[in-house]
């Protein structure tokens, strides 16, 4: 059942813990995701299978496949809007903290959702991100930053604090949103993140059943060496994921295909 607006105002902050992978039960660990890292995927045989397929595709195409993904990533990065076409729920992707505080890219994402909230273009924000080495979660650090910078009091904020990568961000967000509706349907969402990150988040969101629209954190696409490196890296991640899924579907590998669902 949808939560009435009055109830949402009374409980504008909901702390949500939705585990997906088993977590450590070590009582001295202050956070549930401290024992997990995105690097664990490198020990996964399905992920390595996809990597081999991707490398072969790049070699056999003389790099043209990778170039096509790079063009796609750059196009999404350059063309994505700063505001959604209508009011909708905003999913804000976290990033690794620096000294327990949001770093540069994360602050830009937070500034964007803050501007959306102040312009009444969203009244429901999901901050996504677990513990990435600091004492607090990325989501809680983001919420503290928003409160310090004038987040309107009538905006309902939820924290998803058990994910360590973009795929987990979206899986947990999906469970939170489905739990708030009668039939488990997903509402349209604005995917708020850095421009270099948008293409991958958009692909994952659609794969998981979201009707997601990209919203860029930066006013314009930055043009400097660091950002170019991030675009190149994201093109590689996107190619690895997408080609792996296409290959799994082609050969009927159900387990591999179900990894992103």
- What does the pLDDT look like over 153-179, one tens digit per residue? 999 999 999 898 999 999 999 999 999
Query: Would 174 be classed as within a structural domain?
Result: yes
- Residues 202 and 215: beta-carbon distance below 8 Å: no
Residues contacting 249, CB < 8 A, separation 6+: 257
As a whole number of angstroms, the distance between CA 81 and CA 67 comes to 24
Query: Would 216 be classed as within a structural domain?
Result: yes
3-state secondary structure the chain: CCCCHHHHHHCCEEEECCCCCCCCCCCCCCCCCCCCCHHHHHHCHHHHHHHHHHHHHHHHCCCHHHHHHHHHHHHHHHHCCCCCCCCCEEEEECCCCECCECCHHHHHHHHHHHHHHHCCCCCEEEEECCCCCCCCCHHHHHHHHHHHCCCCCCCEEEEECCCCCHHHHHHHHHHHHHCCCCCCCCCCEEEEECHHHHHHHHHHHHHCCCCEEEEECCCCCCCCHHHHHHHHHHHHHHHHHHHHHHHHHHHCCHHHHCCCC
- Domain span at residue 249 reads 10-17+43-257
Q: What is the pLDDT of residue 40?
A: 61
- Residues 210 and 187: beta-carbon distance below 8 Å: no
Closest by CA position to 23, among listed 10, 33, 11? 33
Query: Would 96 be classed as within a structural domain?
Result: yes
Domain count, the chain: 1
pLDDT at 27 over 50: no
Query: Would 163 be classed as within a structural domain?
Result: yes
- What does the pLDDT look like over 82-126, one tens digit per residue? 999 999 999 999 999 999 999 999 999 999 999 999 999 999 999
Most confident of the following: 18-22, 96-100, 232-236: 232-236
Mean pLDDT of the chain: 86
As a whole number of angstroms, the distance between CA 173 and CA 170 comes to 5
- What does the pLDDT look like over 30-72, one tens digit per residue? 444 444 555 566 677 888 898 999 999 999 999 999 999 999 9
Q: Give residue 24's pLDDT band: very low, low, confident or very high (50, 70, 90).
A: very low
pLDDT at 4 over 60: no
Q: What is the pLDDT of residue 39?
A: 57
Q: What percent of the chain has pLDDT over 90?
A: 71
Domain of residue 73, CATH code? 3.40.50.620
- What does the pLDDT look like over 241-252, one tens digit per residue? 999 999 998 998
Q: Roughly what angle, to the nearest 10 degrees, separates helices 64-79 and 198-207?
A: 100
Query: Would 31 be classed as within a structural domain?
Result: no
Q: Give residue 256's pLDDT band: very low, low, confident or very high (50, 70, 90).
A: confident
Q: What is the pLDDT of residue 181?
A: 85
Query: Would 127 be classed as within a structural domain?
Result: yes
Q: What is the pLDDT of residue 66?
A: 97
Q: What percent of the chain has pLDDT over 70?
A: 84
Q: What is the pLDDT of residue 37?
A: 53
Q: In what order do the strands lie in the sheet with 156-160?
A: 13-16, 156-160, 124-128, 89-93, 189-193, 212-216
Arithmetic mean of pLDDT, 4-28: 36
Q: What is the pLDDT of residue 30?
A: 43
Query: Would 220 be classed as within a structural domain?
Result: yes
Query: Would 180 be classed as within a structural domain?
Result: yes
């Amino acid at each position: 059942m949808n939560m009435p607006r009055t109830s949402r105002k009374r409980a504008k902050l909901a702390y949500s813990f939705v585990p997906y992978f088993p977590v450590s039960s070590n009582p001295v660990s202050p956070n549930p995701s401290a024992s997990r890292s995105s690097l664990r995927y490198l020990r996964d045989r399905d992920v390595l299978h996809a990597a081999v397929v991707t490398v072969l595709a790049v070699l056999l195409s003389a790099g043209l496949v990778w170039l096509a993904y790079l063009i796609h990533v750059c196009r999404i990065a350059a063309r994505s809007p700063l505001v959604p076409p209508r009011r909708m729920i905003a999913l804000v992707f976290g990033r690794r903290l620096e000294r327990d505080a949001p770093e540069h890219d994360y602050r830009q994402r937070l500034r964007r959702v803050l501007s959306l909230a102040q312009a009444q273009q969203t009244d429901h924000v999901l901050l996504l991100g677990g513990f990435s080495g600091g004492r607090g979660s990325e989501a809680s650090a983001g919420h503290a930053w928003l409160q310090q910078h004038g987040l309107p009091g009538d905006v309902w904020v939820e924290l998803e604090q058990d994910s360590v990568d973009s795929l987990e961000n979206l899986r947990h967000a999906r469970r939170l949103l489905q739990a708030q509706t009668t039939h488990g349907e997903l509402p349209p969402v604005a995917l708020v993140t850095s421009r270099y990150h948008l293409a991958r988040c958009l692909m994952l969101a659609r794969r998981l059943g979201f009707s997601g629209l990209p919203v860029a954190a930066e006013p314009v696409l930055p043009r400097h060496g660091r950002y170019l490196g991030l675009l190149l890296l994201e093109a590689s991640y996107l190619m690895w994921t997408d080609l792996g899924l296409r290959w799994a579907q082609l050969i009927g590998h159900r387990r591999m295909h179900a990894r992103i669902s």
